[in-house]
Amino acid sequence: MAPRRKGIERAEYLARIAQMYYIDDMHQSEIAAKVGVTRSMISHLLAEARASGIVNINVVHPLRRDAQLAEGLQEAFDLKEAVVVSVDNQMELVPTVAGAAAKILQRYLIPGVVIGTSWGSAVSKTIEAIELERLTPDVTVVQLLGSLSGRLLEFDAHHHLQYLVNKVGGLGVYLNAPFMLETKEVADILKRDPSIRETLDYGGRSTVAVLGIGTTAKAESSFYLSGYATEDDLRQLTDEGTVGDVCGHFFNIDGKPSSLDYTARLIGISLDQLMRIPARLGIAGGPNKVEPIIGALRGGYVNMLVTDDMTARTILEDV
């Protein structure tokens, strides 16, 4: 029988078995002979490795695009580019949309490019989906706004930036500040700090920005999930007409700036700086993102969009 191991020792044992099977391409009978257990025990150990999260198996489906919906979005909102991918179920939505966004971002990876990053699940998955054969020289990745939370990686802007730098090479420029302060006065003081001001100025010189599109829906609100906003805060935002945000800048369904008291407390690039970035790539999809996407497109917060077919169809029906 397999020796009983606990904690880290058990996990290392399972990882060793999994590596021999999935990476070294050994047969289960070969592994059994090597470690001194039965073949059926190896099968049980592999199942345990998968159940415990030591082994993760991803099935990558080819991207299926809907050119007609993409053309409709481009014409309706005068976009530089729109990509609409077909998604069969909600579980595939974010990784599928992010995979298409990664392909767009990879086109911008040329020497001298400055990539601005925000945070969120769509941005995180986009960075994860980037696949390069070689590093790109002379690339700068700059953080456009402070971090929401270090406890949840999808809201950790430092993590996103370093992950992207590791994938593409180049230099990372960090914004060492929280996303939002208690008052406008405190935020103004922090933004006058030379290192913060320098990073924000650098962010304003981005060539391309990788942007999620936020929502005020509780189930998907980054502010609520990270603990920066309460249900009462979301209710107040909604009462003020706010439907979403891009890079911390809130807007209503018509794309007009809203909830300016919240915006005044954020640490990030200004709206003028954001709008001057030539390529503003918005990545979002799903029912809760329909109104935020419409507002973001009407206001010009993003001028490129990657989304799913159901979301695109609903948007075009509503405008």
pLDDT of residue 153: 63
The answer to whether the CB of 35 falls within 8 A of the CB of 12 is: no
**Six-digit token pair at 71?**
């053309």
* Residue 1 pLDDT grade (very low, low, confident, very high; cuts 50, 70, 90): very low
Q: Do 139 and 250 share a domain, yes or no? A: yes
**Six-digit token pair at 118?**
């925000």
Distance CA 213, CA 120 (A): 9
CATH number for the domain that contains residue 40: 1.10.10.10
Q: Do 21 and 156 share a domain, yes or no? A: no
Q: Do 39 and 114 share a domain, yes or no? A: no
How many structural domains is the chain composed of? 2
Q: Do 30 and 74 share a domain, yes or no? A: no
Mean pLDDT lowest among 219-228, 262-271, 293-302: 219-228
Q: Do 296 and 224 share a domain, yes or no? A: yes
- Write the pLDDT tens digit of every residue in 225-277: 777 778 998 999 999 999 999 999 999 999 999 999 989 999 999 999 999 99
The answer to whether the CB of 306 falls within 8 A of the CB of 282 is: yes
- Write the pLDDT tens digit of every residue in 195-211: 999 999 999 999 999 99
Q: Do 234 and 167 share a domain, yes or no? A: yes
Distance CA 70, CA 74 (A): 6
Q: Do 44 and 81 share a domain, yes or no? A: no
Give SS3 for 76.
helix
Burial of 291-308, coded b for 16+ CB within 10 Å and e otherwise, reads bbbbbbbbbebbbbbbbb
Question: Which residue in 308, 284, 105, 311 sits closest to 209, CA to CA?
Answer: 105
Distance CA 78, CA 212 (A): 19
Average pLDDT, the chain: 90
Q: Do 156 and 31 share a domain, yes or no? A: no
Tell me if 58 is assigned to some domain.
no
Q: Do 127 and 231 share a domain, yes or no? A: yes
Distance CA 35, CA 31 (A): 6
Residue 31's domain comprises: 7-51
Tell me if 289 is assigned to some domain.
yes
Query: Which DSSP category does 284 fall into?
Result: -
* Residue 60 pLDDT grade (very low, low, confident, very high; cuts 50, 70, 90): low
pLDDT of residue 270: 96
pLDDT of residue 105: 96
pLDDT of residue 2: 47
Q: Do 26 and 77 share a domain, yes or no? A: no
- Write the pLDDT tens digit of every residue in 85-125: 999 888 889 999 999 999 999 999 999 999 999 988 899 99
Please give the share of the chain, as a percent, with pLDDT higher than 70. Answer: 93
pLDDT of residue 39: 87
* CB atoms inside a 10 Å sphere around CB 195: 11
Question: Which residue in 217, 282, 211, 269 sits closest to 243, CA to CA?
Answer: 217
* Residue 152 pLDDT grade (very low, low, confident, very high; cuts 50, 70, 90): low
pLDDT of residue 23: 81
